[in-house]
């Protein structure tokens, strides 16, 4: 397929009077930022880009180098990311080739590229065998091979759709059967802007522009079935969903449209409407079969990105520095994050944009990496960790405090314990280290924003904050409760205290505010989905949850553990309690479930109040 979005996790931390327990919440795809790189700037490079991603998410891009006028020559280039830099190759220099190229990777992550050879007006195909490029002429009948689109089948054999002889043979299709190329004429009318995808049976589906508008062709095993999808249609891009149903993004005079087949008819939507048509659109479907589209907006000369969130289209400007976004090609990584290759006019560079969501913070209650906080308990009496629907494991004993977090930066919560008597931190399958004393409260978190949970303690008697390998500082006074959190959205945990006798919240180097009163309990979490912690209190005498600037509600009572976190994946922390006497988990507006027994300690979400049992030293 020739041309192909997001998810973001915001996690919140907690401190429990000698116990830190840790949550995660998921924020919608719009939270994050675009990372933009120049891949190649040697001459006029980057037109006719095609992007594919390796299994590890590494980008691979085919594109052309165009020599200066007069007598402009072009040749095909290929770039891939090694993990530290771009490796750039010229497939074959100086042979008037490379336009209208399309890239796919085989099961060994070797690139295969179809392209048009200008001087001979042929369709060519090349692949890397691990040591050299092998080049073949696929079709040389007349002027053929423009607007090619390539896909590899389950045997790694190439299939190519392309434009045939102008006004003679319109849309063509070629596939390699293991020994030779088989070439078919799909439709006699002009087949421009072709886009090819193979279904689960390796049958080809093709979208294309013709004199009647937007066309669609599918091979049923014996013949081609051809439909006119819409009366208008220029640039187009096709993708198949998990049920092999086709989806097409396409430009029309006045904007960009999207068509999807529901099994009986085409459903057509306007993505955006402008006085001019969108150009170079590229479509991909995410793991929920929702569409994502990159395109060039000629009105503003910008690269745009549109995605459907289940209820509406959201449109972002990816790059607006100069005339950017031509020849865009979109792919989604395994986390549904979009990657786009494109050409920047003016500077004549190949560019690459990668969406970076706000990454999961290290203090997570997400034990399986699905982006939602899991229901989980630690049984103090036996060292049992029971994570609902995931696992049961024994790690630690009654003399340990649970300190789960992401200590190896893999996006999932690691089981961990802290022994106050010796300062031992034992993180299951990750590390063992000594840090802290018997008077310290463990407060792990990512204090430098590098994605790894840091070992950290707060010393109650003198308000020392000691963060291993980072810093030692004093902040607060005797009796203050440490409430480190992500107050600024910069992905590094901020040092902060809550003074119970006055309701003071003091965030080091940030601000001081008063919210709450004596005996209130701090319940910071991201209650509005903006990626930062909101200041909040729980009033045990009444069950009041007061979230500064967000809401006030009543839920729970004085004996409950407070565990706000995103349990339903909507990007907003849910008000939630754990009732230790019965094992009740009550997640406001989400669910009620029983998990655990009397004496269990919740180890998901943000436990914001002291546990009823204190581990022995």
**Res. 68 pLDDT band, cuts 50 70 90:** confident
Each residue's pLDDT tens digit, 530-588: 878 899 999 988 999 999 999 999 999 888 888 998 888 888 889 999 998 899 999 99
Residue 250 located in a structural domain: yes
Tens digits of residue pLDDT in 474-518: 999 988 889 999 888 777 899 999 998 899 999 999 999 999 988
In-domain check, residue 77: yes
pLDDT band at 357 (very low <50, low <70, confident <90, very high): low
Q: Is 322 a member of any domain?
A: yes
User: What pLDDT is stored for residue 20 in this prediction?
Assistant: 29
Query: Which residues, 6+ apart, have CB-to-CB distance to 400 below 8 Å?
Result: 383, 417, 418, 419, 426, 615
Q: Which of 337-346, 581-590, 596-605 has the lowest mean pLDDT?
A: 596-605
- Who wins on pLDDT, 117 or 380? 117
> Would you say residue 61 lies in a domain?
yes
Q: Check: CB of residue 515 under 8 Å from CB of residue 548.
A: yes
Q: 196 forms bridges with which residues in the sheet?
A: 206
376 within some domain:
no
- The Cα 475–Cα 481 span in angstroms is 11
- Residue 72 in domain: yes
Rounded-to-5 percentages of helix, strand, coil across the chain: 0, 50, 50
274 within a domain of the structure (yes/no): yes
- Rounded to the nearest integer, the mean pLDDT of the chain is 87
In angstroms, rounded to a whole number, what is the distance separating the alpha carbons of residues 387 and 404? 12
Give the whole-angstrom CA distance, residue 121 versus residue 123. Answer: 7
Quote the domain boundaries for residue 297. Answer: 32-357
Q: Please write the tens of the pLDDT for every residue from 430-461.
A: 999 999 998 898 999 899 988 899 999 999 88
Where do the DSSP E strands lie in 2-157? 8-10, 25-27, 32-40, 44-53, 59-66, 74-81, 86-90, 97-105, 111-117, 122-128, 133-139, 146-152
Instruction: Render pLDDT for 12-49 as a digit per residue (tens, 0 to 9).
Output: 233 222 222 222 222 233 456 788 999 999 999 999 99
How many domains are there within the chain? 1
582 located within any domain: no
Q: What is the CATH number of the domain that holds 314?
A: 2.120.10.10
């Amino acid at each position: 397929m020739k041309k192909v979005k997001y998810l973001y996790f915001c996690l919140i931390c907690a401190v429990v009077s000698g116990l830190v327990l840790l949550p995660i919440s998921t924020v919608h795809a719009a939270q994050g930022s675009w990372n933009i790189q120049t891949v190649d700037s040697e001459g006029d490079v980057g037109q006719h880009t095609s992007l594919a991603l390796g299994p590890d998410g590494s980008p691979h891009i085919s594109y052309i180098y165009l020599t200066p006028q007069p007598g402009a020559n072009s040749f095909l280039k290929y770039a891939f990311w090694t993990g530290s830099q771009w490796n750039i190759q010229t497939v074959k220099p100086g042979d008037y080739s490379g336009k209208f190229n399309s890239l796919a990777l085989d099961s060994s992550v070797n690139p295969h590229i179809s392209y048009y050879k200008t001087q001979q007006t042929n369709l060519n195909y090349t692949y890397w065998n691990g040591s050299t490029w092998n080049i073949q002429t696929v079709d040389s009948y007349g002027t053929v091979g423009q607007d090619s689109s390539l896909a590899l089948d389950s045997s790694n054999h190439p299939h190519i759709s392309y434009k045939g002889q102008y006004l003679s043979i319109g849309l063509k299709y070629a596939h390699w059967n293991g020994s030779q190329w088989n070439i078919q004429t799909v439709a006699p009318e002009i087949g421009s802007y072709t886009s090819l995808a193979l279904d689960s049976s390796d049958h080809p589906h093709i979208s294309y522009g013709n004199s009647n508008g937007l066309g669609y062709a599918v091979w049923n095993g014996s013949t081609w079935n051809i439909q006119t999808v819409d009366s208008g249609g220029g640039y187009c891009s096709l993708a198949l969903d998990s049920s092999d149903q086709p989806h097409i993004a396409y430009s029309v005079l006045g904007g960009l449209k999207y068509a999807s087949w529901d099994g009986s008819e085409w459903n057509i939507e306007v993505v955006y409407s402008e006085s001019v048509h969108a150009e170079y659109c590229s479509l991909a479907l995410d793991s929920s079969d929702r569409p994502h589209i990159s395109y060039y907006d000629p009105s503003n000369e910008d690269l745009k990105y549109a995605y459907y969130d289940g209820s509406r289209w959201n449109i972002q400007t990816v790059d607006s520095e100069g005339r950017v976004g031509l020849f865009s090609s979109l792919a989604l990584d395994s986390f549904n994050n979009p990657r786009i290759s494109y050409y920047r006019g003016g500077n004549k560079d190949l560019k690459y944009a990668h969406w970076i969501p706000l990454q999961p913070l290290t203090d997570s209650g997400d034990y399986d990496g699905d982006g939602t906080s899991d229901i989980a308990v630690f049984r103090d009496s036996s060292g049992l960790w029971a994570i609902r629907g995931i696992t049961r494991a024994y790690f630690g004993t009654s003399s340990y405090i649970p300190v789960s977090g992401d200590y190896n930066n893999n996006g999932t919560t690691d089981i961990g314990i802290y022994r106050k008597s010796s300062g031992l931190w034992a993180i299951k399958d990750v590390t063992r280290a000594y840090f802290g004393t018997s008077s310290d409260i463990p407060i792990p978190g990512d204090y430098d924003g590098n994605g790894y949970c840091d070992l950290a303690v707060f010393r109650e008697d003198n308000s020392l904050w000691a963060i291993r390998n980072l810093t030692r500082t004093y902040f607060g006074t005797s009796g203050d409760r440490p409430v480190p959190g992500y107050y600024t959205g910069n992905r590094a945990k901020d040092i902060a205290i809550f003074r119970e006798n006055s309701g003071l919240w003091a965030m080091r180097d940030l601000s001081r505010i008063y919210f709450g009163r004596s005996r209130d309990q701090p319940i910071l979490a991201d209650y509005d989905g903006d990626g930062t912690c909101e200041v909040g209190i729980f009033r045990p005498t009444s069950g009041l949850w007061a979230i500064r600037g967000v809401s006030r509600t009543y839920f729970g009572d004085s004996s409950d553990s407070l565990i706000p976190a995103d349990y339903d994946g909507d990007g907003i922390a849910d008000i939630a309690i754990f009732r230790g006497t019965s094992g009740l988990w009550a997640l406001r507006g989400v669910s009620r479930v029983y998990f655990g027994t009397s004496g269990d300690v919740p180890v998901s979400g943000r436990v914001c109040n002291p546990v009823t049992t204190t581990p022995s030293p």
